[in-house]
Structure 1
Amino acid sequence: MEKTFPDIFPTGAAPRVLSFKCAANEYEPAQFVIRSPKAIQGVTIALSELVSKDGHKLQDIHWNFVGFIPLDSNTPDTTRADRCGCHDRVPEGEIIRLAPCKISDPLLEDEVVDLEANTTLPVWVTVHVPSGTPAGIYEGEARVKGQGIEDEVIPIELEVYPFELPKERNMYLTNWFMVEHISKAHNVELFSEKFWDMLGKYAKNMAEHRQNVVYTPWNQLITVYREGGGSWSYDYANFDRFVQTFMDAGVDGRIELTHIGTPSLLRHVEKGLYGVKVTDKKTGETVRVPGEEGLPPLLGSLQKHLEEKGWLEKAMLHVSDEPNYYTIDDWKKLARFAKKHAPGIKTIDAVSVPGFDGLLDVAVPLSLALEGEFELYKNEFQQGAGKELWFYTCCIPYGHYPNRFLDYPLSDLRVLHWMNYLFDVSGYLHWGLTFGWEEHDGTNFGPAKRFPPGDSHLIYPGKEGPMNSIRWETQRESLEDFEYFTLLEAKTAAIKEKLGPAADPIPADFRSKEIGGKIVKTFSDYVEDVDAIYSVKELLASEIIEIDKEPLFLFMTTPNTNIPVKIGPAVIKLQGVVEEGAKVKVNGVEVEILPDGGFVEIVQLEIDGQVVKIEVEKDGKKKTIEREFEVI
């Protein structure tokens, strides 16, 4: 989970094994690098299938050489000297290297390359473990081949956990793209059969990376005709094919309809409705009708069509992008227009302020803004009251906030969707999946100059479809982590149901959020250490595996293990519930169990003995759990 550089000499011994750990229905990447004091021609990689001791085989394993992106400048305001030492960050701040430099990102399509002497070449290996794959250890090998050298063999070991991630996505993800980007990059005529084939490849790629919301340019896809008598008609053929292409691929969570109004970001720019392109059915002449005239019947028709297709509940309509304190009243005027003419379609927008008088259904504040006014947003957009709260990042924030810029560590992107889970934020939006492509020459995929490096796109146009990046792969890792947290919470809820009312005081998400809190404290305070993140992910997996083993048992502590306990004396409250007939010991001392299975114990911690050990036993089955506290 680290970016490398062509001039970096790998430290330590070569890896003895390329190790993976994951659940079924999960993708898992790993990386190794090749370096030689002499140039090597024709370098390539050969991967074997992975086989378990029981003979089960996994064949969905592939590799890519990682390419480098030239960086002329860094993300703004991340090189300040006052960043040094904060949260153990590098002296330059968030960035991993000062420009000019080359940053690893695209997963190249080339299967054979020539390696220059004393140059580091990263190789990215991805394993996909299909649903239903038996748990266990799977082994195989990677062979590094080249002209004039003996094969270098790297053993591969994959541990498949005895659980699998759900097929459904439990949070929403959208990354914006434009159909023109795909058409131009692959030289296919817009809405031709070749275009639809290519779009299907992009839809499949998005689904494989757990994107479940499709940014839908509805006013471009719907053809509006003026009939002979002056009435209007609507052709939804392209719209339906576009939406169905993504639905069939698995991007089927939400239909995100593009904006009806001009952006609300700038204070002194007049806000208004976009016009509607109308074609005279008899003459073929095309005119643009003002939005005030063209949008009311079009919005009404769109809502009716969505309802007929069974898509209305999935649809969300953007009003005007990024309203703020100065422009929110202008936004409300446009939103009232949308609600009047399409009352059944939810509204969504990226915002930087709360206070929308019920006109906004899906609020997507900038992460920085959400952190600053978190309670106001949470109160206004309560998830159970028909509202939703997402967050977004774009050109900002930077500094202490995580983002997906090229010169940021991958760990920043890895923790992004931990924040979705820990702060009960149900979706994430970013504007840049395919933007900025117009500035590349087919080989030099440099970042779009007018944005922080990497902000404009996560994928690249390949020869026959999308070309992935290590950032795109890492975002999928973060989304899969989200599902781990959700799975532990769901298992906890099921056990609560079995244990009865005595378990009511214990929140179903207590332990999952306690585990996540070891890495993420706030939107701007989180651990970037790669080993720490992997360690916590393994802890999360182990608790998913163990939680529903007998004897069933749940407990919580006050405070939780992430909060230091002060001497005075240092005490914690331990509250739990067990199955009927179970016995419980805390630090070797048996505790009293109430008739309903509940118990409460006050535990005094010692400065040199802050581990609390809980033992539960019933019918010869035993479970031991330890919690470690910091005493200050």
Structure 2
Amino acid sequence: MGAAANEMQGFQAIVSGGDTGVRGVRAAVSDLRGPSTIPASKVVLYREDYMYVSTPSDDNGMRGWVPDALVPDVDPFVGEKRNAFPFDVPAGELRAIWVDVHVPSGTRPGSYRGSLEVTGDGGFSASLPIELEVFDFELPSTPSYATAFGLAWNGTCEGHFGEAWCGGDDAAFDRLRQLYGKAGLDNRLTLSAVVGAPVPGSGGDLDFSRYDQVYGPLLDGTADTRLKGAALSAVQVWQRDPQAEDYAAWARHFKSKGWFGKLFDYTCDEPPLTCAWSDIKPRQDRVHRGDPGMLSLVTTTVAHLKENGLYQSTNIIVPVVNFVEGKSGEYAGDQSADYRQAQRDGKTTWIYSSCMSHGCGNTVTGEYGGDPDLQGWPSLVIDHTALRNRAMPWVAYNYGFTGELYWDSVYAFASKSDPWRDQYEFTGHGDGTLFYPGRPDRIGGSTHIPVESIRLKEVRDGIQDYEYLSILDAFDRADAQKVAKKLFAHAWSAGDITPEQLLQTRREVAQKISANLKKSGGKIPSSPLRPEGGGFGTAADAASGCSVSGSALGVGALLVAGSWLASRRRKPRLR
């Protein structure tokens, strides 16, 4: 593997039951030693849990048991031992361990070595060497790529306690929202709807005391996160029927806290599906009477806003990826010129994926109902490839978008009786759900926590890829654009490239950054994507690349795949 300082990188170990099976599988990782030390405490081990897919999300989906949930050995939120280990592997079957490495801030560049030790009953053991190249630059804890992912207000308590308000326990409600917010930040993601309980009050007389206590650390970057200093990049107004004077109160409070640049009003989603076009301007007028600087977000196209007289009053424009470069029909060809012009007009442009990436069936009507050619679009469903889960930040960079929106992260917590076994929504497995409810009766321990998914890790990795591109962009925009466009020639190119091509391109970008850092004395210039610039580089020579290898040992063979991207297509044989 290769990673910058303050970056997260994961790989998986595949354990085979061989001819007789392996019982009592356990794993431990050593420190990684090189020019300095990456302690084992910076590595989280998980057991991969599986979702059974009987009907694929579309013709490109997988069928059978697909790995997704990541049950931690010792969870990274409260530090409790969970029931990931030991586990058994029946004869002729496979199980997987996910290894997540955080390269600490300030880690010196060079080659680091350690090992993953896997043991089982009856003398089964394997020592698997790990080699990691740490590049000579560092990623910020809060990405330059903005994200605004949903977190249904009732989802967390429904998933953990079976009731929307945690049975009236405000402390439990708030603790879950905090933990999910931290889990997002640990994966470089902002859950912009993390605020669950509406701010009380009306007529501009609002009480933010509970809000500040629960969510202030997430906004300030003082929460206890794996990425020190990580902060929410966006948060939406959350109040019942806010009027102009209420928006004014939100603006005053957020300005007093230094958070105002993160605040937006989610004015309408996919009009005319969820609101009439005629409803939008009165809502925006209330927002802007409250404070002219408050941002109004609408998920639609530039063309539709202009057709309905809403272009001037909309501040954040978010089209679905299928309308940015369609394969046929009204949106065929590259439409990004409209959004680049919107940025020149002072607007923010983000992008999103929806059920259109796998076909919405009859669940959505109108132009949002699906796409005739589903191959290769960015997608966050369980049975699509990891490349498609990771693709959106690359597409966003290529088409000039600076952030990403996603409609929900826990939708199945409230809509399904057991989201560990069923997350099928809008004809897609996992559409709107990126977590699993980590209840003690399910994962062990004594406290409730979020359980991350492999898809969430792929979203994280895509955001880190974008950070690489943004750093190279600060040095040489034309070079960065050339490299990214070569890999993702189209918005749907995730179906055409290989994992090896993506990882090689990523390493190429890292090498270009290193070369530019040597010329600049370790300084990263400011740029539109990174206005703060930075002094992240140490301009040291890069060391050798990473290899993670293994061999078949005894009756139960164990091997390691250095890249999850390359191995997700494997379909383990499970009972």
Bin of the TM-score, shorter chain as denominator length: 0.7 to 0.9
- The answer on 1:317 being equivalent to 2:265 is yes
Q: Select the structure with the greater relative contact order (CA < 8 A; seq sep ≥ 6).
A: 2
2: CA distance, partners of 1:354 / 1:439:
32
1:379–1:551 distance in 2 versus 1, CA, 3 Å: closer
Deviation at 1:309, TM superposition (A): 3.0
- The answer on 1:61 being equivalent to 2:30 is no
Give the conservation status (yes or no) of the 8 Å contact 1:172–1:213: no
Deviations 1:597-625 (A, max 9, x none): xxxxxxxxxxxxxxxxxxxxxxxxxxxxx
Deviation at 1:69, TM superposition (A): 0.4
Give the conservation status (yes or no) of the 8 Å contact 2:336–2:399: no
Deviations 1:543-567 (A, max 9, x none): 1112343599xxxxxxxxxxxxxxx
Residue from 369, 386, 401 that aligns with 2:323: 369
Residue from 413, 416, 422 that aligns with 1:446: 422
2: CA distance, partners of 1:536 / 1:296:
49
Q: Which runs of 4+ in 1 moved over 6 A?
A: none
2: CA distance, partners of 1:551 / 1:160:
19
SS of 1:456's equivalent in the other structure is coil
Deviation at 1:312, TM superposition (A): 2.4
Q: Which residue of 2 aligns with 1:348?
A: 297
Q: What does residue range 406-425 of structure 1 map to in structure 2 within 5 Å?
A: 406-425=382-401
Q: What does residue range 366-515 of structure 1 map to in structure 2 within 5 Å?
A: 366-371=320-325, 372=331, 374-375=335-336, 377-378=338-339, 380-382=341-343, 384-398=344-358, 399-400=374-375, 401-441=377-417, 444-463=420-439, 464-490=448-474, 492=475, 508-515=476-483
Q: Which residue of 2 aligns with 1:105?
A: 68
2: CA distance, partners of 1:512 / 1:395:
30
Give the conservation status (yes or no) of the 8 Å contact 2:152–2:410: yes
Q: Which residue of 1 aligns with 2:497?
A: 528
Q: Which residue of 1 aligns with 2:213?
A: 241
1:57–1:320 distance in 2 versus 1, CA, 3 Å: closer
SS of 1:403's equivalent in the other structure is coil
Give the conservation status (yes or no) of the 8 Å contact 1:410–1:471: yes
SS of 2:350's equivalent in the other structure is strand
2: CA distance, partners of 1:57 / 1:551:
27
SS of 1:186's equivalent in the other structure is helix
1: CA distance, partners of 2:283 / 2:419:
43
Deviation at 1:155, TM superposition (A): 1.1
Give the counterpart letter for 2:453 in structure 1. S
1: CA distance, partners of 2:435 / 2:336:
35
- The answer on 1:49 being equivalent to 2:25 is no
- The answer on 1:206 being equivalent to 2:160 is no
1:327–1:196 distance in 2 versus 1, CA, 3 Å: closer
SS of 1:63's equivalent in the other structure is strand
Give the conservation status (yes or no) of the 8 Å contact 1:203–1:251: no
Give the conservation status (yes or no) of the 8 Å contact 2:149–2:407: yes
Q: Which residue of 2 aligns with 1:624?
A: none
- The answer on 1:185 being equivalent to 2:159 is yes
Residue from 167, 173, 181 that aligns with 1:195: 173
Deviation at 1:192, TM superposition (A): 2.4
- Per residue, is there more strand in 1 or in 2? 1
Give the counterpart letter for 1:482 in structure 2. Y
SS of 1:516's equivalent in the other structure is helix
Give the conservation status (yes or no) of the 8 Å contact 1:346–1:362: yes
2: CA distance, partners of 1:183 / 1:142:
36
Q: What does residue range 86-97 of structure 1 map to in structure 2 within 5 Å?
A: 94-95=60-61, 97=62
2: CA distance, partners of 1:524 / 1:351:
19
- The answer on 1:224 being equivalent to 2:193 is no
SS of 1:344's equivalent in the other structure is coil
Residue from 90, 103, 107 that aligns with 1:129: 103
Give the conservation status (yes or no) of the 8 Å contact 2:378–2:492: yes
Residue from 124, 128, 137 that aligns with 1:154: 128
Residue from 132, 135, 141 that aligns with 1:167: 141
Deviation at 1:528, TM superposition (A): 3.1
Gap runs ≥5 in structure 2: 73-83, 224-229, 326-330, 359-373, 440-447, 522-575
Deviations 1:123-154 (A, max 9, x none): 11111101100111111111221111331121
Q: Which residue of 2 aligns with 1:335?
A: 284
Give the conservation status (yes or no) of the 8 Å contact 2:147–2:234: no
Q: Which residue of 1 aligns with 2:569?
A: none
State the TM-score, normalizing by the size of structure 1: 0.68
Give the conservation status (yes or no) of the 8 Å contact 2:413–2:419: no
Gap runs ≥5 in structure 1: 1-19, 80-93, 226-230, 261-275, 277-290, 493-507, 553-632
2: CA distance, partners of 1:197 / 1:216:
11
Give the counterpart letter for 2:299 in structure 1. A
1:364–1:155 distance in 2 versus 1, CA, 3 Å: same
Deviations 1:430-463 (A, max 9, x none): 0121111135555833213444111121111113
Deviation at 1:217, TM superposition (A): 5.0
SS of 1:65's equivalent in the other structure is strand
Give the counterpart letter for 2:144 in structure 1. N
Deviations 1:60-92 (A, max 9, x none): 1122111110123222xx42xxxxxxxxxxxxx
1: CA distance, partners of 2:25 / 2:194:
42
Deviation at 1:40, TM superposition (A): 2.0
Give the conservation status (yes or no) of the 8 Å contact 1:354–1:377: no
Residue from 233, 247, 251 that aligns with 1:253: 233
Q: Which residue of 2 aligns with 1:582?
A: none
1: CA distance, partners of 2:194 / 2:451:
22
2: CA distance, partners of 1:539 / 1:116:
41
Deviation at 1:303, TM superposition (A): 2.8
1:419–1:375 distance in 2 versus 1, CA, 3 Å: closer
Give the conservation status (yes or no) of the 8 Å contact 1:257–1:316: yes
1:237–1:128 distance in 2 versus 1, CA, 3 Å: same
1:307–1:542 distance in 2 versus 1, CA, 3 Å: closer
Deviation at 1:297, TM superposition (A): 3.4
Q: How much identity, in percent, do the aligned residues show?
A: 21
Give the counterpart letter for 1:40 in structure 2. V
2: CA distance, partners of 1:517 / 1:148:
52
1:444–1:378 distance in 2 versus 1, CA, 3 Å: closer
Deviation at 1:379, TM superposition (A): 5.2
Q: Which residue of 2 aligns with 1:299?
A: 247
